[in-house]
């Protein structure tokens, strides 16, 4: 039955919920989830934090799920709890606080101003709400990291003679245009802050994507590609969701993610089953994407890496002569109290010596992940994973990451 005919029959009263078969109800439920995905496809906020080591989610033999890792997208909702049950700040809120404090120090210990035409909390108000939930020692540690990062960003910008005169927080859709007048989506420009500088009469904008980690590895997630990066893998997710709903038909009566998550939280058998099914689905999506890329042209393969994995395409600001940098703060050694390290790269230039060498770029599939190699050495990866680890009817997205130098 076509969708159009089904709508006609439902509106005519010829069929209704009571007369539908279980199979039809499940199909309608899954289609409603897909409509929700479509509506939220440009929402860059992460549903849940996902482990850097995926075994910490899918499970080590005889082990329970453990640590979570840095999410590259920020949820700045003021209602969100910023501290986990163990008293540690969530990775999302750590990233938000890092952005706010880097901006604060770049402005000479003054909080960034709120965009004049934007509703909601100011940067200072968001900062104060996060700070109020943290132990003073934890806050000081994060504050000192941000100050060190700000000093490094300032050094990078001022080495060419430019002087900083303002900084704007640009973590939400439309913020870069509010700051610079240059229109850009978050896919086109992932800047968390925009620094305004001046050299003589020349003004310049510096978009900065800020990343911070407690790891000694500077290569943390650079992108969170959605389903568009998986080349019509929708049918795999449709099949996955249908099977979950068939096994747990009570899910089709839920109204939203919150209700579905609450249901799974109470059902350990469901959680175990969904976790295993999520891994199988992520592997299928990875294999599907690998098959498409390996059969396509080298040009298309490189375009995938540039757009979906490393995000190396020039931003609209760069096209107009301004700058975009990706700045990472990480630790020098694992011992407590070790020094900090920083790295600034210009994504649109940093990997060009490899990306321009199309013929020596190859793609390889391993489990949930695609590895991209240049002359046989991995320099980037694209991992497939569930968008939410709490929702039994989640969609899927990815993590793009650089490797090596």
Asked if pLDDT for residue 19 goes beyond 70, the answer is no
DSSP at 116: T
Question: How is residue 17 written in tokens?
Answer: 């919920």
Q: How many domains does the chain have?
A: 2
Whether 377 maps to a domain, the answer reads: yes
Whether 116 maps to a domain, the answer reads: yes
Q: Say if residue 280 is in the same domain as residue 358.
A: yes
| 3-state DSSP assignment of residue 365 | strand
- Torsional sign, CA 55, 59, 63, 65: positive
State the pairing for strand pair 369-374/340-345.
Answer: unpaired
The mean per-residue pLDDT over the stretch 372-390 comes to 96
> How is 307-360 classified by DSSP, letter by letter?
IIIS--SPPHHHHTT-EEEEEEEEES-SSTTPPEEEEEE-HHHHTHHHHT-GGG
Q: Say if residue 22 is in the same domain as residue 138.
A: no
Chain segment 191-207, per-residue pLDDT in tens: 999 999 999 999 999 99
Asked if pLDDT for residue 47 goes beyond 70, the answer is no
Among the ranges given (110-124, 149-163, 233-247, 314-328), the one the predictor scored with the smallest mean pLDDT: 110-124
Q: Where does residue 85 rank: exposed (0-12), middle (13-18), buried (19+ CB within 10 A)? A: exposed
Q: Say if residue 14 is in the same domain as residue 58.
A: yes
Q: Say if residue 46 is in the same domain as residue 79.
A: no
| Three-class secondary structure assignment of 175-230 | HHHHHHCCCCCCCCCCCCEEEEEEECCEEEEEEEEEEECCCCCCCCCCECCCHHHH
10 Å Cβ neighbour count for 348? 20
Q: If we measure between CA atoms, which residue out of 212, 216, 217 comes closest to residue 334?
A: 216
Whether 346 maps to a domain, the answer reads: no
User: Which pLDDT value is given to residue 80?
Assistant: 54
Whether 344 maps to a domain, the answer reads: no
Q: Which domain holds residue 13?
A: 1-66+218-312+351-405
Whether 331 maps to a domain, the answer reads: yes
- Torsional sign, CA 347, 108, 172, 219: positive
Q: Say if residue 44 is in the same domain as residue 101.
A: no
Whether 342 maps to a domain, the answer reads: no
Q: Say if residue 112 is in the same domain as residue 98.
A: yes
Q: Band the pLDDT of 9: cuts 50, 70, 90.
A: low
Chain segment 25-36, per-residue pLDDT in tens: 999 999 999 998
Q: Say if residue 255 is in the same domain as residue 308.
A: yes
Q: Say if residue 307 is in the same domain as residue 385.
A: yes
Asked if pLDDT for residue 79 goes beyond 50, the answer is no
Q: Say if residue 268 is in the same domain as residue 291.
A: yes
Q: What percent of the chain has pLDDT over 90?
A: 72
Q: Say if residue 99 is in the same domain as residue 115.
A: yes
Question: How is residue 93 written in tokens?
Answer: 């809120």
Place of tokens 């039809």: 24
CA distance 130 to 324: 27
Whether 295 maps to a domain, the answer reads: yes
CA distance 81 to 137: 19
The mean per-residue pLDDT over the stretch 266-271 comes to 96
CA distance 27 to 6: 12
Q: Say if residue 278 is in the same domain as residue 397.
A: yes
Strand order in the sheet with 361-366: 361-366, 369-374, 377-386, 396-402
CA distance 176 to 89: 27
Among the ranges given (46-55, 158-167, 378-387), the one the predictor scored with the smallest mean pLDDT: 46-55
Whether 345 maps to a domain, the answer reads: no
The mean per-residue pLDDT over the stretch 78-103 comes to 80
CA distance 359 to 374: 9
Question: How is residue 299 written in tokens?
Answer: 């040009």
User: pLDDT averaged over the chain?
Assistant: 88
In sequence order, the 6+-apart residues with CB closer than 8 A to the CB of 55 are 63
Q: Say if residue 141 is in the same domain as residue 200.
A: yes
Q: Where does residue 51 rank: exposed (0-12), middle (13-18), buried (19+ CB within 10 A)? A: middle
Q: Band the pLDDT of 71: cuts 50, 70, 90.
A: very low
User: Which pLDDT value is given to residue 356?
Assistant: 97
């Amino acid at each position: 039955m076509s969708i159009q005919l089904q709508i006609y029959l439902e509106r005519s009263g010829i069929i209704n919920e009571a007369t539908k078969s279980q199979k039809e109800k499940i199909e309608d439920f899954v289609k409603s989830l897909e409509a929700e995905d479509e509506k939220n496809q440009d929402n860059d906020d992460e549903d849940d934090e996902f482990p850097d080591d995926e075994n910490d989610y899918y499970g080590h033999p005889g082990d329970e799920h453990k640590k979570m890792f840095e999410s590259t997208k920020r949820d700045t909702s003021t209602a969100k709890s910023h501290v986990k049950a163990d008293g540690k700040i969530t990775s999302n809120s750590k990233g938000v606080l890092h952005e706010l404090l880097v901006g604060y120090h770049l402005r000479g210990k003054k909080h960034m101003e709120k965009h004049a035409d934007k509703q909601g909390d100011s940067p200072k108000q968001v900062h104060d709400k996060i700070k109020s939930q943290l132990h003073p020692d934890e806050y000081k540690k994060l504050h000192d990291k941000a100050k060190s990062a700000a000093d490094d960003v300032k050094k990078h910008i001022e080495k060419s003679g430019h002087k900083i005169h303002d900084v704007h927080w640009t973590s939400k859709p439309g913020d870069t245009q509010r700051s610079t007048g240059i229109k850009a989506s978050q896919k086109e420009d992932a800047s968390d802050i925009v620094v305004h500088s001046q050299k003589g009469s020349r003004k310049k904008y510096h978009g900065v994507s800020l990343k911070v980690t407690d790891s000694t590895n500077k290569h943390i997630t650079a992108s969170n590609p959605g389903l568009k990066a998986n080349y019509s893998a929708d049918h795999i997710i449709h099949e996955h969701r249908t099977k979950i709903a068939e096994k747990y038909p009570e899910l089709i009566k839920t109204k939203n993610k919150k209700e579905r998550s609450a249901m799974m939280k109470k059902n350990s058998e469901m959680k175990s089953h969904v976790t295993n099914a999520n891994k199988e689905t992520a592997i299928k999506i990875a294999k599907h994407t690998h098959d498409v890329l390996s059969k396509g042209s080298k040009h298309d393969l490189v375009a995938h890496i540039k757009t979906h994995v490393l995000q190396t395409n020039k931003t609209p600001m760069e096209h107009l002569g301004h700058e975009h940098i990706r700045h990472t703060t990480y630790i020098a050694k694992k011992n407590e109290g070790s020094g900090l390290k920083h790295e600034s790269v210009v994504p649109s230039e940093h990997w060009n010596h490899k990306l321009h060498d199309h013929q020596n770029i190859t793609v390889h599939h391993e489990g949930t992940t695609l590895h991209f190699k240049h002359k046989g050495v991995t320099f980037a990866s694209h991992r497939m994973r569930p968008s939410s680890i709490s929702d039994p009817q989640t969609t899927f997205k990815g993590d793009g990451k650089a490797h090596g130098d």
